[in-house]
């Protein structure tokens, strides 16, 4: 049988499979019994046809999508995923992902996005967990591929972080074509036209297991490969040591067919891929513009040349427009200043800045004014009703409405240059955002995004006015905080230490998602840590080495976060006055017989009867509505975070990944069933 016929027979099967799928699954096409009395006969005939011609699932191949993944509302079943036609219902395989700074350029970040083990990604690709991987470098990602109904997929999830995202951009830009918008629409309950920041989506990654025919020929796995500009079937097959004809057959391609960049291709492999085959940065001359790549590259060179010339002309025109615009703006600003000098008047906002600007803000304003909005005091007075009591949130923080948007306005005294310098550089969904500031009579007013549901401390310690947080909400909040701290420690340049992590500095938005706030004590991280004689912070959250020696490292944030985790688990405050005179050092007693929450957890998790003691420790308002095994894992992780020796504490990356495992298991937990039944399979580890 020739290559053509080997492709044709599976294609015929796929068409029959589609007919069965429509008749049995899609209610829109399902005929009513009284309207079609021959439906059972049709089913029997089709199944008889399959049995006679021996077109069983294990012989079928997978159709190449071409560019159908770009159509979110097509009627082509293969856009849901690769057909479940393999010899096994599940298998271990690999996908290729291109490093994409600044969000997905490390083993940890890519592992988080694709729900894969970062340590395995790092080992396979010969990098460290947190090492930055150059842009567009191909990264091997191990995944578990399983049948979900009619199609193979690897389950990952994604939380929407930007309001301009949708199923199309998430599938084709964030996941780079490893999933499709059609598949995401099919597997998520959210209307594609009403997506909001904070929503969590299922993202089914495309993968497949070998068929019986492929296994018989020695194929071990089908790797999902993302096609790059300039790729050809011959080059892909040669690089990975695959047979060219097997790649064509696996994707139902002919010799004359074209392949398309930014699309997935199955590559049959007889052994696992290696770093030498994939960690190859693309040539700098390659264009990022999506285009068609034929099987033979020589046919495509004129197209590339035309694209290059066109891109150059567009770039030249844009540069000219930019120069013209900057010249006009500078000329306009000069004319306005000249008029103001002639009239002897200036706007209230520059007056405030000139008359009340403290010396320490001279350099900060010059840098921040290009990024942040500088408000006049009159604008903030109008926004807050002259800072009336009704708009007071807590302390010196007020609720205000500016240009129709609600904001939190914080009045501060003293040197706030560090906080402004840090906040203007930070942009993360789980870190509160600074939008602007105002200087007036020696005070600085910082304008932040507004978190509708107040602080985490209010939810945990003022329960009379708020409902009880559910188990899933608590784990999600913990994960959000860890995500924000991990961003500060590992994703900013320079990295930052928060230094004042506590439940009152965690704000909750309208979707019950957490945001790290209050960077008044934050500072840039230095290699080897820093020492200070000026110890400031909140009792109960300060790490022993910071209290006793003034040592500042990222581990003091880990300690404080561990205390917040214990607050989430128990509903108790970080420090209890009159706790019976606990002793034993700074980690247990900070004066006046105050019992620390960080010391209490050891008594719960050590010795016998751990589960019974934990039931007494967990927030009573939860009742039995939590999975015991996951609560144990959560408590153990918190106890590691509050270890007295900073070297015994996990890093924020390790905490982040451990919480991801607990969160995913919690989202699968059904509170209507016995909590112990649903979660005993969870194994804690970091």
Query: pLDDT tens digits for 607-645?
Result: 889 999 999 999 999 999 999 989 999 999 999 999 999
Residue 283: is its pLDDT beyond 80?
no
The secondary structure of residue 594, as a DSSP letter, is P
When pLDDT is cut at 50, 70 and 90, the band that residue 3 belongs to is very low
Summarize the confidence of residues 513-529 as an average pLDDT.
87
Give the pLDDT confidence score for residue 168 in this predicted structure.
87
User: What are 157's strand-pairing partners?
Assistant: 202
> Rounded CA gap, 160 and 179, in Å?
16
Place 318 in a pLDDT band, splitting at 50, 70 and 90: low
* Lateral strand order in the sheet of 90-98: 200-205, 151-159, 138-148, 90-98, 221-226, 264-269
Residues 6+ apart with CB under 8 A from 274: 124, 140
Give the least confident one: 10-14, 384-388, 481-485: 10-14
Query: What integer pLDDT is reported at residue 452 of this predicted model?
Result: 92
Distance CA 147, CA 84 (A): 6
pLDDT tens digits, 647-678: 999 999 999 989 988 998 888 887 776 444 44
Q: Are residues 224 and 96 in contact, defined by beta-carbon separation less than 8 angstroms?
A: yes
pLDDT average, residue stretch 101-119: 88
Residue among 329, 622, 580, 349 at smallest CA distance from 471: 622
pLDDT at 2 over 90: no
CA 312 to chain centre: 35
467: left (phi over 0), alpha (psi -120 to 50) or beta: beta
User: Average pLDDT, stretch 260-285?
Assistant: 79
Name the band, by pLDDT with cuts 50, 70 and 90, for residue 229.
confident
As a whole number of angstroms, the distance between CA 63 and CA 404 comes to 51
Angle subtended by helix axes 610-617 and 597-605, to nearest 10: 150
Residue 83 above 70 pLDDT? yes
Highest mean pLDDT among 38-52, 111-125, 302-316, 660-674: 111-125
pLDDT-derived band at 572 (thresholds 50, 70, 90) equals: very high
Q: Which two tokens stand for residue 300?
A: 């495509």
DSSP 395-430: TTEEEEEETTEEEEEEEE-S--HHHHHHHTT---TT
Contact between 627 and 471 under an 8 Å Cβ cutoff? The reply is yes
**List of residues 6+ apart from 356 with CB closer than 8 A:** 439, 440, 441, 442, 443
The per-residue DSSP string of 162-201 comes to: STT--HHHIIIIISTTSS-HHHHHHH--S-TTS--TT-EE
Q: Which of 257, 190, 170, 245 is nearest to 214 (CA)?
A: 245
CB 412 within 8 A of CB 440: no
Instruction: Please name which of 188, 136, 182 lies closest in space to residue 157, comparing C-alpha atoms.
Output: 188
Whether 507 contacts 661, CB under 8 Å = no
Residue of 100, 105, 129, 500 marked active site: 500
Helices 652-668, 471-490: inter-axial angle, 10-degree rounding: 150
pLDDT winner (highest mean) among 11-25, 116-130, 310-324: 116-130
The model's confidence at residue 343, banded by pLDDT at 50, 70 and 90, is: very low
First to last CA, the chain: 52
* pLDDT for residue 58: 39
Distance CA 495, CA 518 (A): 16
Residues 6+ apart with CB under 8 A from 27: none
For the stretch 444-493, pLDDT in tens is: 999 999 999 999 999 999 877 789 999 999 999 999 999 999 999 988 88
Predicted pLDDT at 439: 87
Nearest to 445 by CA among 509, 501, 403, 398: 398
| pLDDT level of residue 528 (50, 70, 90 thresholds) | low
Q: Are 377 and 402 in contact (CB under 8 A)?
A: no
Average pLDDT, the chain: 78
The H or E element containing residue 216 is helix 212-216
Residue 33: exposed, middle, or buried by beta-carbon count in 10 A (0-12, 13-18, 19+)? exposed
Chain position carrying tokens 């993360």: 428
Residue 455 is given by DSSP the state B
Beta bridge partners of 398: 392, 409
Comparing CA positions, the residue from 342, 236, 361, 374 lying closest to residue 295 is 236
Whether 624 sits among the annotated catalytic residues: the reply is no
DSSP-assigned beta bridge partners for residue 514: 508
Q: Which of 221, 202, 203 is nearest to 211 (CA)?
A: 221
| C-alpha neighbours within 13 Å on the C-beta side of residue 310 | 8
pLDDT above 90 coverage of the chain, percent: 41
216-244 average pLDDT score:
91
Residue 219: phi, psi to the nearest 5?
-70, 125
| CA 388 – CA 401 distance, rounded (Å) | 13
Retrieve residue 625's tokens: 């509505």
Q: Which two tokens stand for residue 593?
A: 């017989």
What is the band of 311 on the pLDDT scale with cuts at 50, 70, 90? low
Report the 10 Å Cβ neighbour count for 417: 18
Query: Whole-structure pTM over 0.85, yes or no?
Result: no
Query: Is pLDDT larger for residue 23 or for residue 439?
Result: 439
| pLDDT, tens digit (0-9, with 9 covering 90-100), for 25-80 | 333 333 333 333 444 444 444 443 443 333 344 344 788 887 777 778 877 888 88
**E strand spans, 442-557:** 443-449, 496-497, 506-508, 514-516, 523-524, 530-531, 551-552
What tens digit of pLDDT does each residue of 165-214 get?
A: 889 889 988 999 999 999 999 999 888 878 888 888 899 999 999 999 99
What pLDDT was estimated at residue 316?
Answer: 61
Tell me what pLDDT residue 306 has.
59
């Amino acid at each position: 049988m020739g290559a053509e016929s080997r492709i044709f027979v599976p294609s015929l099967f796929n068409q029959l499979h589609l007919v069965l799928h429509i008749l049995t699954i899609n209610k829109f096409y399902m005929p009513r019994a009284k309207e079609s009395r021959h439906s059972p006969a049709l089913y029997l005939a089709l199944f008889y046809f399959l049995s006679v011609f021996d077109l069983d699932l294990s012989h079928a191949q997978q159709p190449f999508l071409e560019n159908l993944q770009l159509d979110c509302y097509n009627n082509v079943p293969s856009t849901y995923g690769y057909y479940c036609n393999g010899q096994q219902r599940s298998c271990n395989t690999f996908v290729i992902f291109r490093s994409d700074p600044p969000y997905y350029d490390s083993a940890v970040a890519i592992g988080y996005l694709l729900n894969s083990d970062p340590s395995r990604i790092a080992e396979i690709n010969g990098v460290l967990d947190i090492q930055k991987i150059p842009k567009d470098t191909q990264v091997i990602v191990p995944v578990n591929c399983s049948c979900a109904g009619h199609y193979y997929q690897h389950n990952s999830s994604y939380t929407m972080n930007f309001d301009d995202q949708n199923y199309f951009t998430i599938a084709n830009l964030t996941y780079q074509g490893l999933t499709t918008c059609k598949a995401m629409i099919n597997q998520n309950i959210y209307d594609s036209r009403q997506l909001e920041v904070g929503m969590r989506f299922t993202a089914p990654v495309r993968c497949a297991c070998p068929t019986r025919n492929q296994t018989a020929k020695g194929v071990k796995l089908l790797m999902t490969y993302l096609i790059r500009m300039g790729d050809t079937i011959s080059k892909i097959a040669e690089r990975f040591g695959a047979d060219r004809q097997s790649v064509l057959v696996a994707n139902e391609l002919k010799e004359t067919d074209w392949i398309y960049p930014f699309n997935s291709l199955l590559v049959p492999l007889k052994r696992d891929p290696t770093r030498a085959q994939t960690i190859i940065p693309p040539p700098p001359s390659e264009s990022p513009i999506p285009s068609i790549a034929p099987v033979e590259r020589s046919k495509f060179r004129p197209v590339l040349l035309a694209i290059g010339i066109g891109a150059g002309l567009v770039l030249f025109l844009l540069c000219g427009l930019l120069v013209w615009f900057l010249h006009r703006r500078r000329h306009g600003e000069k004319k306005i200043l000249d008029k103001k000098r002639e009239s002897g008047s200036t706007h209230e906002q520059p007056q405030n800045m000139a008359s009340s600007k403290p010396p320490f803000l001279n350099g900060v304003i010059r840098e921040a004014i290009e990024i942040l909005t500088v408000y006049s005091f009159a604008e903030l007075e109008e926004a807050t009703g002259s800072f009336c009591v009704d708009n007071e949130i807590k302390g010196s923080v007020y609720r205000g409405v500016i240009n129709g948007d609600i904001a939190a306005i914080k009045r501060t005294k003293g040197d706030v240059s560090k906080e402004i310098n840090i906040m203007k550089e930070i942009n993360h969904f789980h870190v509160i955002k600074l939008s602007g500031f105002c200087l007036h009579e020696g005070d600085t007013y910082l304008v932040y995004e507004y978190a509708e549901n107040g602080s985490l401390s209010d939810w945990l310690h003022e329960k009379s006015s708020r409902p009880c947080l559910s188990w899933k909400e608590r784990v999600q909040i913990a994960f959000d905080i860890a995500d924000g701290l991990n961003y500060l420690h590992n994703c900013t340049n320079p990295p930052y230490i928060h230094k004042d992590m506590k439940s009152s500095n965690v704000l909750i938005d309208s979707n019950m998602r957490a945001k790290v706030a209050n960077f008044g004590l934050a500072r840039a991280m230095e290699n080897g840590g820093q020492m200070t004689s000026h110890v400031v912070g909140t009792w109960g959250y300060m790490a022993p080495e910071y209290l006793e020696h003034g040592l500042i490292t990222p581990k003091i944030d880990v300690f404080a976060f561990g205390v917040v985790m214990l607050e989430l688990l128990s509903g108790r405050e970080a420090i209890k006055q009159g706790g019976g005179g606990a002793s034993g050092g700074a980690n247990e007693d900070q004066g006046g017989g105050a019992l620390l929450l960080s010391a209490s957890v050891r008594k719960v998790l050590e010795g016998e009867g751990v589960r019974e003691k934990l039931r007494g420790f967990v927030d009573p308002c939860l009742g039995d509505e939590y999975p015991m095994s996951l609560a144990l894992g959560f408590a153990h992780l918190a106890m590691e975070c509050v270890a007295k020796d900073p070297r015994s504490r996990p890093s924020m990356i390790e905490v982040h990944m451990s919480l991801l495992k607990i969160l995913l298991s919690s989202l699968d937990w059904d509170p209507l069933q016995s909590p112990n039944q649903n979660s005993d399979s969870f194994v804690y580890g970091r």
